[in-house]
């Protein structure tokens, strides 16, 4: 994250990484309708870039560009402007901001782009306004901004629980730098509609707590092969609901599953799928080429990235 000396015209910029939900289990539903989750999240090298400065005009503005950016404008649900409003209210500031977002993360794909943008914006706003918050204050604002924002303040492998506000970093060093292919369909999926499609119940049958099925493989990977780890971890309780809303997703996943050396799943509420090779070194390019050729006739394309964290500019 770049932090030049503060001035009215200085831009503050930082990267906002995408994430994978390697595992997503629905554990219940609160009285207010929000679902309780248990997720194993990892960050990706795929990322947006967020830039913020004091606005030269007496209003907030946000311009999005890049392959997944809408035309210029100030949408009311813009996650960065929402964070700016929360931050100013918290510190008692009134100055308006101008932001730019280079959108490289696909939208309506379950990759957390908007939430990551908001988390990065919070760090940039602290630098811009020269007001450093405590970790507890950051977590409080992140929870108000959106369900996934708290995770992106860490952007490391973590168990994420509750409605996304409980983040427990874990050690998965062997997975850092692991190749990943994202399968991006030609359609997106609404998070709200996917959750509304869930048919589980009664919710009491979902017990909160750790996933016992992962104990056998060990989260550190010290005693487990990649295959046993991925086979134990990759699961998403939203997949069935997503397929009911968009049946084409099933055909794409079935095609990817036909490649034996890959392990595949859906991230978040979709529509993006992910593919992880069982060997991080041998034949990865050939595998991903084969994957791309397999899903292209189904209207999907591949984005190649890797699981990575501790980036020096984040």
Residues acting as catalytic residues: 19, 148
User: Are 105 and 18 within 8 A, CB to CB?
Assistant: yes
Query: Quick check: 16 and 47 in contact, CB under 8 A?
Result: yes
Neighbours of 166 (CB within 10 A): 17
- Categorise residue 25: left if φ over 0, alpha if ψ from -120 to 50, beta otherwise: beta
Name the token pair of 267: 């991230």
Which residue bears the tokens 């679902």?
A: 35
Q: What DSSP designation does 9 have? A: T
User: Of 10, 23, 45, whose CA–CA distance to 310 is shortest?
Assistant: 45
> Shortest CA distance to 84 belongs to which of 47, 48, 53?
53
- Which of 200, 142, 131, 198 is CA-nearest to residue 166? 142
d(CA 208, CA 227): 26
- Alpha-carbon distance of 248 to 302, in angstroms, equals 16
């Amino acid at each position: 994250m770049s932090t030049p000396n503060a001035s009215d015209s200085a831009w503050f910029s930082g990267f906002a990484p995408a994430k994978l939900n390697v595992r997503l289990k629905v554990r219940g539903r609160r009285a207010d309708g929000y679902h309780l989750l248990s997720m194993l999240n990892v960050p990706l090298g795929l990322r947006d870039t967020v830039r913020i400065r004091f606005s030269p005009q007496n209003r907030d503005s946000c311009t999005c560009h890049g392959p997944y950016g809408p035309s210029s404008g100030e949408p009311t649900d813009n996650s960065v402007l929402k964070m700016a409003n929360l931050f100013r209210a918290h510190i008692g500031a009134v100055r308006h901001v101008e932001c730019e977002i280079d959108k490289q993360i696909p939208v309506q794909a379950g990759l957390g782009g908007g939430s990551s943008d908001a988390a990065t914006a919070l760090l940039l706003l602290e630098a811009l306004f020269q007001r450093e918050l405590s970790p507890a204050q950051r977590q409080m604002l992140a929870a108000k901004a959106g369900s996934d924002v708290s995770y992106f303040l860490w952007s490391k492998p973590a168990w994420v629980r509750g409605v996304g506000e409980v983040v427990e970093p874990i050690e998965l060093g062997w997975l850092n730098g692991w190749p990943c292919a994202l399968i991006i369909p030609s359609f997106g999926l609404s998070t709200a509609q996917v959750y509304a499609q869930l048919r589980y119940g009664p919710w009491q049958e979902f017990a909160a707590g750790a996933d016992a099925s992962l104990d056998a493989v060990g989260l550190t990977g010290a005693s487990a092969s990649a295959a046993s780890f991925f086979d134990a971890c990759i699961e998403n309780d939203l997949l069935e609901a997503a397929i009911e809303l968009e049946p084409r997703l099933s055909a794409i996943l079935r095609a990817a599953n036909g490649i034996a050396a890959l392990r595949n799943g859906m991230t978040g509420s979709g529509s993006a799928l992910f593919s992880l090779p069982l060997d991080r070194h041998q034949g990865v390019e050939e595998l991903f080429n084969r994957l791309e050729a397999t899903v292209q006739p189904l209207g999907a394309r591949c984005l190649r990235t890797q699981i990575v964290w501790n980036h020096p500019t984040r």
